[in-house]
Amino acid sequence: MVRKIPHATKPIVLLLGLLLTWLLLPAVFKSYSRAGFFEFQAPLWVTAAEFKNLGDSWALRAHSKKELYETGRDLARLNSAYELKLQEIDALRDELSRLERILVLPSLPRFQYRIARVVRRDQSSWWQQLVIQKGKLHGIPVGAAVVYSGGVVGRIREVHAYTSVVELATSPGFRMAAHFDNDERPVTYQGAVNLPFSSPRGKVMNVPPDVVVTASVPRRLTSSRLGGVFPDGLTIGWVNRLTTSPDGLFQSGQPYLDKNLLSLKEVAVLIPLGTGGTP
Amino acid sequence: MLFEVYKNFSPRLRVFYLIFALLFTALSVGLFYRQVILWPTYLEQEKKQNHRRILVPGPRGNIYDRKGRLLVGNRPRFSAVIYLSELRPEFRRKYIEVVRSARSTNRKINRNELQIEARSAVVQNYLNRINRILNRNDQVDRKEVERHFRQNLLLPKPLIKDLKLSEFALLTEQLPVNFPVQIHTESARYYPSGSRAAHTLGFVGSTFEVPEEGVPGNDLTTVTYKGKTGRSGLERQFDEHLQGTSGGEIWVVDPSGFQYELASQKLPVKGNDLSITIDIDLQQAAEEALGDNKGALVALEVKTGEVLVLASKPDFDLNNLSPYIPNEVYRSINERGAWLNRAIAGLYPPGSSFKVITATAGLQSGAIDLETIFECQGFLQVGNRHFPCNNHRDRGEISFSRSIMKSCNIYFQNAGLRTGVTQISRTARQFGLDQPTGIELPNETHRMIIPDPEYKAARQHGPWTAGDTANLSIGQGYLLVTPLQMAAFTASFARRETRTHPTLLHDPAADPRRIDHGGEKLNLPEELYNGIVEGMEMAVSGRDRGLLVGSGRMAHVPGIRIAGKTGTAQTQVKGEKLTMAWFICFAPIEDPKIAIATVVESTDPDYLYGGGSHAAPVAKKVLQAYFQNKNPSGNNLATR
């Protein structure tokens, strides 16, 4: 006679059974399920983000006409300034191309910018990531650089149909080549464990021993073109202290990153021209 | 009816109880002994069996010149390495794949061979990823992978050594953080001045004999990263001082030797720095002045004996010897004869620069005085030997000071014959020319020769003759000294002492008055001493109708009073005639600060080749650089 499983133990047995089944499932199925789950979640995140945007938009509508006029005026000025900058950039780009032709230099890597809204932020001590509202269908490739007006944001880690996951520069799994202002020698920047509500920080390593940094004169750490992913000169953070390793070969320090990094609403994905991003 | 009565207890059972009790006690004691008493021993054994130690040598200390400029440092050397111990699951999967493939193609299955194949394929797979990033096409060497797997599983296996900075940046950015391929950094010696002071600084070689002091786990099986040990020059002499303190890691490994847990770690610490007396600007001036010639130049600070310059040519770029010496570099240095540090190990007859010693010996013994005059007719016949004098054209009587100025051979040969070999040799020995100076460098030669009749007899070269004395008087014959010895002699003479202990260790706080060079005051009255110095000054700055006419005039630096003596000597080395141009000097005469000795070799000299034309200009460059440094405005040099 088959003994009945007592009522109290039924949930545990069911759980164990499910776990066992999951473990025994083929890897392809698991991977498909995970991707499917993500795609299922994505519209929810996007909808939530849209609601938030709607809320923000309604909040903005509460502003008086006078405030709107002033903001409009400021915006117009900003636009004019940007127009001017764009013309300068075009002129510089032409000059660069001319010099490259004369000196027979290989062209600098060029990028196409894809602006994407942030729909979700996932910030634990061990990883920090953003989900942005652009994915495979918008030509976003894995590994692409993500930037904002303040500098480096991170790198695309996963790409789904309509969304992508960005590993933030503060995440311990993020590493890139960097250099200090006015010093072309590459150093290593890596994210670090960032406690909740603390200022975002990372680690800078392999700094040559002759680089001098003081609290009164902090130095800007910028991206290096030598790494092949980021263009040169984007701000990563500021370093105000370096410690020499016991073997004297290198120094290391903790750059302070922009606080806005953790509350970004919009970022730009740099898609190298000639790859999947070619329009 | 008889009933059998069984007792509950029989006395015979006591025996069994006893035996049982004894056995149980023995077991308990045994268990206690093994579990409690032997516990530390077993713990130790277990630790030895499953712990491995990795020794990481500490970088060597830096070497700085007297002004704190870096002469030898460390540069990071980046390599892309792979941690084989992290690839075990992949090795297994690949092995199964390879075995299946072999079975399907009816290949003979040699398990060992297939394992090697699987491991190489996995490593090649990772290398291909690096190749894609770096745009290279490197291939793994199966034998190397296997050797590393068998012998150094705990250490990362280098895939690409000596990455360029751009390659380092590419891999840093494009390899995931947790990936079996990582960038490994080790230190290599770096010489910012290239070939400057190459012989003095020396170079290092690789060694597995890494100091273990302070690293726990002496009794554990240990694998070691290659360390560095000094092979020549200061790197060898101060190897212990410069050597870094080793660090170490102790890993827990499984029975197959794969590491899985870091038990403890100690970081390596850089070695002590060394501050030396060389002035790299003067060194550069000397080496540039020597140019492509073979030769040497030594400059000493007169009061302290500190070595300002120790140059030897030909030389080599030390950066080409780090991190290892390629065969072609070794051969090239060998063919050029550049390994020899001519300043401390080159033995040369000093030629006429030795006349200062002959003069000192003659004046000390009273054989000559400042008024002594000899006649020079351009040659001297001593026994059956004919000695020419081509150093000056004016014939007839020649005075003491003019003989130094013109470097007249006949005068000094006559003076030497009057003084005698014993006195000349004694004076040379008094100045320490018969022994090494004791400078802090390995390979200073001990084979210098101050000849005398005993020396000649001991080598069965026949009896000492007057011709030998005449030859010795002008610094030729059996006489052999090093440039460093001549520089030390010059410094001693400038201080009116008999010894100078040249040193390479810079101590800015040292009081020159308290430095004991180990000699004594020169036993020569001031008037006689000044007579020699006057002759030496005339050799550099003596004028006739406004023109410089001394033998060492090409060392003349306006505004500086220099006492100098030229020399030209001939010898044969391996059947090849060699002419040496010498120049020794000290300056300024009123308060001597720098003493220089330089020699320039030539195998094919023209008839004008000599100390005055080829060695004096070299010394002049160093004097100019020295006094320019002392007085950067250069006013003194320009006005006088």
**Nearest residue of A to residue B268, measured between CA atoms:** A247
Chain B CB contacts of A176 under 8 Å are 172-173
Domain total of chain A: 1
Residue A23, in any domain of the structure: no
Residues whose CB falls within 8 Å of the CB of residue B631, separated by 6 or more in sequence, listed in order: B637
Provide the sign of the torsion angle of the four alpha carbons B141, B147, B149, B154, taken in this order.
Answer: negative
Residue A87, in any domain of the structure: no
Looking from the CA of B589 toward its CB, the CA atoms found within 13 Å total 19
Residue B4, in any domain of the structure: no
Q: Looking at the structure, tell me whether residues B285 and B248 fall in a common domain.
A: no
Predicted confidence at residue B166, as pLDDT, reads: 92
Quote the domain boundaries for residue A229: 175-260
pLDDT tens-place string over residues A131-156: 999 999 999 999 999 999 899 999 99
Residue B234, in any domain of the structure: yes
**Nearest residue of B to residue A248, measured between CA atoms:** B270
Give the one of A185, A228, A250 whose C-beta lies nearest to B170's C-beta: A228
Domain total of chain B: 3
Residue A14, in any domain of the structure: no
Q: Determine how many CB atoms are found less than 10 A away from the CB of residue B33.
A: 11
Residues whose CB falls within 8 Å of the CB of residue A229, separated by 6 or more in sequence, listed in order: A143, A144, A145, A155, A176, B173, B174
Q: Looking at the structure, tell me whether residues B266 and B311 fall in a common domain.
A: no
Provide the sign of the torsion angle of the four alpha carbons A90, A91, A95, A98, taken in this order.
Answer: positive
Q: Looking at the structure, tell me whether residues B296 and B265 fall in a common domain.
A: no
Pair B425, B431: CB distance under 8 Å: no
Residue B5, in any domain of the structure: no
Instruction: With residue B357 as reference, give the H or E element that holds it.
Output: helix B355-365
Contact criterion met (CB < 8 Å) for B173 and A175: yes
Q: Looking at the structure, tell me whether residues B233 and B355 fall in a common domain.
A: no
Q: Looking at the structure, tell me whether residues B349 and B267 fall in a common domain.
A: no
Residue B516, in any domain of the structure: no
Chain B CB contacts of A185 under 8 Å are 165
In whole angstroms, what is the distance from residue B602 CA to residue B591 CA?
34
Pair A122, A131: CB distance under 8 Å: yes
Contact criterion met (CB < 8 Å) for A226 and B59: no
**Nearest residue of B to residue A174, measured between CA atoms:** B177
Predicted confidence at residue A88, as pLDDT, reads: 93
Contact criterion met (CB < 8 Å) for A246 and B267: yes
Residue B267, in any domain of the structure: yes
Q: Which two tokens stand for residue B412?
A: 């000094």
Q: Can you give B508-576 as a three-state secondary structure string?
A: CCCCHHHCCCCCCECCCCHHHHHHHHHHHHHHHHCEECCEECCCCHHHCCCCCCCEEEEEEEEEEECCE
pLDDT tens-place string over residues B583-625: 999 999 999 999 999 999 988 767 678 899 999 999 999 999 9
Chain B CB contacts of A227 under 8 Å are 169-170, 172-174
Residue A80, in any domain of the structure: no
Chain A CB contacts of B174 under 8 Å are 143, 227-229
Q: Looking at the structure, tell me whether residues B250 and B101 fall in a common domain.
A: yes
Chain B CB contacts of A174 under 8 Å are 177
Q: Looking at the structure, tell me whether residues B581 and B550 fall in a common domain.
A: yes
Residue B84, in any domain of the structure: yes
Contact criterion met (CB < 8 Å) for A249 and B76: yes
Residue B240, in any domain of the structure: yes
Predicted confidence at residue B634, as pLDDT, reads: 47
Chain B CB contacts of A247 under 8 Å are 58-59, 187, 244, 247, 267-270
Instruction: Determine the Cα angle at B575 with ends B571 and B576, to 5°.
Output: 60
Q: Looking at the structure, tell me whether residues B260 and B348 fall in a common domain.
A: no
Residue A249, in any domain of the structure: yes
pLDDT tens-place string over residues A95-107: 988 988 888 877 7
Predicted confidence at residue B238, as pLDDT, reads: 96
Residue A96, in any domain of the structure: no
Interface confidence, given as ipTM, is 0.79
- What mean pLDDT do residues A217-222 have? 93
Q: Which two tokens stand for residue B296?
A: 């040497």
Give the one of B173, B176, B185 whose C-beta lies nearest to A177's C-beta: B173
Which of the listed residues B242, B258, B275 is the one where a domain comes to its end? B275
The percent of residues in chain A predicted with pLDDT above 70, rounded, is 95
Residues whose CB falls within 8 Å of the CB of residue B598, separated by 6 or more in sequence, listed in order: B286, B290, B295, B296, B297, B298, B483, B582, B583, B584, B615, B618, B619, B622
Q: Which long-range contacts (CB under 8 A, 24 or more apart) does A178-183 make?
A: A178/A204, A178/A221, A178/A222, A178/A223, A178/A224, A178/A227, A178/A236, A179/A221, A179/A222, A179/A224, A179/A226, A180/A207, A180/A211, A180/A213, A180/A219, A180/A220, A180/A221, A180/A222, A180/A239, A181/A219, A181/A220, A181/A222, A183/A211
Residue with tokens 């870094």: B244
pLDDT tens-place string over residues B259-304: 677 888 888 889 999 999 999 999 999 999 999 999 999 999 999 9
| CATH number of the domain enclosing A238 | 2.40.10.350
Q: Which two tokens stand for residue A181?
A: 């202002």
Predicted confidence at residue A3, as pLDDT, reads: 64
| CATH number of the domain enclosing B87 | 3.90.1310.10
Q: Looking at the structure, tell me whether residues B204 and B185 fall in a common domain.
A: yes
Asked if pLDDT for residue A277 goes beyond 60, the answer is: no
In whole angstroms, what is the distance from residue B129 CA to residue B123 CA?
10
Residue B518, in any domain of the structure: no
Q: Can you give A34-47 as a three-state secondary structure string?
A: HHHHHHHHHHHHHH
- What mean pLDDT do residues A44-53 have? 86
Residue A200, in any domain of the structure: yes
Contact criterion met (CB < 8 Å) for B185 and A249: yes
Residue B407 corresponds to which amino acid? S
| CATH number of the domain enclosing B348 | 3.40.710.10
Contact criterion met (CB < 8 Å) for A247 and B173: no
Contact criterion met (CB < 8 Å) for B169 and A249: no
> Which regions of chain B are under pLDDT 70?
1-9, 47-48, 256-257, 259, 605, 607, 631-640
Q: Best mutation site among A167, A247, A251, A270 for testing chain B: the one with the most B CBs within 10 Å?
A: A247
**Nearest residue of A to residue B267, measured between CA atoms:** A246
Residue A192, in any domain of the structure: yes
Q: Looking at the structure, tell me whether residues B257 and B296 fall in a common domain.
A: no
Quote the domain boundaries for residue B130: 52-275
Q: Looking at the structure, tell me whether residues B218 and B363 fall in a common domain.
A: no
Q: Looking at the structure, tell me whether residues B411 and B558 fall in a common domain.
A: yes
**Nearest residue of A to residue B186, measured between CA atoms:** A249
pLDDT tens-place string over residues B189-240: 999 999 999 999 999 998 888 888 888 888 788 888 888 999 999 999 999 9
